[in-house]
Structure 1
Amino acid sequence: MSHPPTPAGLPDELRRRLGVSDAVVIGLGSMIGAGIFVALAPAARAAGSGLLTGLALAAVVAYCNATSSARLAALYPASGGTYVYGRERLGEFWGYLAGWSFVVGKTASCAAMALTVGSYVWPGQAHAVAVAAVVALTAVNYTGVQKSALLTRVVVAVVLAMLAVVVVTSLTSGAADAGRLGAGADATFGGVLQAAGLLFFAFAGYARIATLGEEVRDPARTIPRAVPIALGITLVVYALVAVAVLSVLGPQQLGAAVAPLSDAAKAAGADWLVPVVRVGAAVAAVGSLLALILGVSRTTLAMARDRHLPHALAAVHPKFRVPHRAELVVGAVVATVAATTDVRGAIGFSSFGVLAYYAVANASALTLTSAEGRPARIIPLAGLAGCLLLAFALPPASVVTGAAVLAAGVAVYGVRRALASRGA
């Protein structure tokens, strides 16, 4: 059944305020955030000397996903991203499964980012700081998406400047050695795949651009332009950071690092840079958390409109034109998880959920016709295969937990359909 976007003028319509530069900045804020601070070490442990190969593989899958998502977002410029695309192109169940994967996986990511803020700002009170960060950023999102875009612009500028200093300092130090790039444990095929799956955690933010489809001006033009620009900038930044850190630490030392960029600064003899990195990491985590809460609340809005979630969450604030109830509920859930759980292992779980989400996006893109702007068929095919391959190459605990959560979502869907059929 078709579900067209909410017609203009209705009370629950979101306001289209974001241009190309705003959309690019929101995408960058989602990707060039805490992911680069937390994903490099576990990826290096998995891949050893194959870390850069894993990064390249994650980038290829991300490119395919971004291309498929951008074409679909231009055709369906409504909040919800792949939840909407799966519903329209493959059927209600696949849209629901994508939405469930996204909301659950990204809620875990939100908690992980909040705890990253806490661990850098005040390690002894990481949980308390995490909760405070969630409350503050939920309030920012509540007052309007333009303020969110403005704050994200500041965060991106600060983080890029800090990463540039780390890269230059590392590569020009006496400790830099190009031979370290390939030193360490021999890479295995499975290790490279696992590293790619873990690094995908740091690439997945471009979905935020698509989930803001109802708040972007001229979405058919803006979204297809913003997604590849944001992804391209991120790929260049990640590659430079990975090469710089590997050049001073090597794969083995990087794999054992708790704070890779801080360790790289120390190894380069730039102890003065360590507190700068700590501040930059905290700011980056704030940027990621801001964009994550923004994206999860919009997918929650879309699912609530279709009553897959409580319909009350579909309300849009009459003044700020944001899904205020969805934002408050998402903020409350994330704050609870951040206050009670150690989510350092959430990277793998989050990656599993998001890879499932993009598998649905690529399958949806395969159904597009040439007139609808279908990309070259190899792109969604490679994206679909890549998502499934990387998802099941993740650490076993992440695969088991992720599969169990998806199964729970399917069970909820089945119960709801059964109850609906009885009431019909």
Structure 2
Amino acid sequence: MWAYDGWIEITYVGSEVKDPERNVPRSIVLSTLIGMALYCLVTASFAYVLSPARMAASSLVASDAAQVTLGRAGAALVAVAILTATLGSNNGIVLTAARIPYAMARDGVLPRWLAAVHPRFLTPVPSLVVQGIIAIALTWISTEPSWKDTYSRLFTYVVLSEFVFYAMSCGAVLRLRHKAADLVRPYKTWGYPVTPIVFILFSLWLVINTAWEQPRDAVAGAALILAGLPIYFLRRGAVAR
């Protein structure tokens, strides 16, 4: 699920996008379709070169496939390309994820100092710094003897927490359609209400399956989510006053 999860990132910077009513939906749809097509083609090519059984046994599928077709030099080039793509992915995550605490602080849900921006570059510096500290802390407490196990734990945290909030967001769409039917809605949900209900059910299934398969990591991920509740209630009380 991590491979297809980037579709939502554009919404975090929606206020900085030109003509968002047009460009945000197009970005979500086109990036998802292009990503799906690329992943399917690449996976099919790996299966053709290596066979599914060899793919399942390999921890470096792309590098092994390149070595079969291009030799050791090709495997090294593919490894460098993957590292470069990883840096690009991280760059996008750093850019977009920091906008979440920034927007929450601007709305008064988090401390106001998180809404501060750089006077010249207009970047949310405090939010970026806090995001970096949290990322370092999570990596440190999640470190396992094997790098694969460390990545697996971090991915479990991300997928579990994100899909909990995805389900809640879709539930909010259903609730607001009923509670505030007269609101102006520039974005239309295709197949409403079937599509959000299906997505909610899928998200819940994914969370339950993850908790069943990896209970220790699921409990840790749930604890991370619940750790934010005291801050939320404290800030909500302060805003109400």
Indicate the TM-score class for this superposition, using the shorter chain for normalisation.
Answer: 0.7 to 0.9
Aligned residue in 1 for 2:146? none
User: Which residue does the alignment assign to 2:226?
Assistant: 407
Structure-2 separation of matches of 1:260 and 1:306: 45
Q: Which residue of 2 aligns with 1:320?
A: 121
Q: Secondary structure at the match of 1:281?
A: helix
Aligned AA (1:252): A
Structure 2 length as normaliser, TM-score?
0.82
| Displacement of 1:334 | 2.7
Matched with 1:381 is 197
Matching residue of 2:105: 304
The percentage of counterpart residues that share the same residue type is: 28
2:154 matched residue in structure 1: 346
**Shift in Å at residue 296 of structure 1?**
1.3
Q: Is the 8 A contact 1:245 1:261 kept in 2?
A: yes
1:340 is displaced (CA, Å) by 6.8
Aligned counterparts of 1:314 and 1:328: Cα–Cα separation in 2: 12
1:393 aligned partner:
209
The superposition leaves residues 208-235 of structure 1 with CA deviations (integer Å, 9 ceiling, x where unpaired) of: 1111111101111111111101111000
Partner of residue 218 from structure 1, selected from 13, 19, 22: 19
Aligned equivalents of 1:347, 1:338: Cα separation in 2: 11
The Cα of 1:295 is off from its aligned counterpart by 1.4
Q: CA, structure 1 residues 250+399, in 2 after alignment: closer, same or farther (shift >3 Å)?
A: farther
The answer on whether the counterparts of 2:114 and 2:126 sit within 8 Å (CA) in structure 1 is: yes
Mapped to 2, the partners of 1:239 and 1:302 lie a distance apart of: 35
Equivalent residues of 2:167, 2:199 under 8 A apart: yes
Partner of 1:237: 38
List 4+ stretches of structure 1 deviating above 4 A.
Answer: 335-341
Q: CA deviation at 1:415?
A: 4.9
Matching residue of 1:135: none
The Cα shift of 1:266 comes to 2.6
Aligned-pair CA distance for 1:303: 1.5
Equivalent residues in 2 for 1:2-21, closer than 5 Å: none
User: Against the structure 1 CA distance between its residues 340 and 420, is the aligned structure 2 distance closer, same or farther, given a 3 Å change threshold?
Assistant: closer
Does residue 258 of structure 1 match 2:66? no
Assess if the C-alpha contact under 8 Å between 1:352 and 1:398 holds in 2. Answer: no
> What is the deviation of 1:324?
2.0
1:360 aligns with 2:168: yes
Kindly provide the amino acid, as one letter, of the partner of residue 195 in structure 2.
I
Helix, strand or coil: the match of 2:8?
A: helix
- What are the equivalent positions in structure 2 for 1:16-415 lying under 5 Å apart? 200-268=1-69, 270-335=71-136, 337-338=138-139, 341-342=142-143, 343-344=150-151, 345-366=153-174, 367-368=176-177, 372=185, 373-376=188-191, 377-394=193-210, 395-396=213-214, 397-415=216-234
Q: Which amino acid aligns with 1:403?
A: A
Q: 1:348 to 1:250 in 2, by over 3 A?
A: farther
**Aligned residue pairs, count:** 223
Shift of 1:244: 1.4
| 1:356 maps to amino acid | V
- 2:189 and 2:65 map into 1 onto residues whose CA distance is 43
Root mean square deviation, CA, Å: 2.5
Aligned-pair distance for 1:269? 5.7
Letter in 2 for 1:375: W
Partner residue in 1 for 2:147 = none
Q: Distance in 2 between matches of 1:265 and 1:304?
A: 47
Could you state the TM-score of these two structures normalised by the residue count of structure 1?
Answer: 0.48
SS in 1 for 2:90: helix
Q: Deviations over 1:333-353 (max 9, x none)?
A: 334555675331211221111
The answer to whether the 8 Å contact 2:142/2:154 transfers is: no
Q: Where does the alignment leave 5 or more consecutive residues of structure 1 unmatched?
A: 1-199
Q: Against the structure 1 CA distance between its residues 420 and 332, is the aligned structure 2 distance closer, same or farther, given a 3 Å change threshold?
A: closer
Q: Give the Cα separation in 2 of the matches to 1:375 and 1:364.
A: 16
Distance 2:166 2:130 in 1: 24
Relative to structure 1, the CA distance from residue 269 to residue 221 in structure 2 (aligned partners, 3 Å threshold; closer, same or farther) is: closer
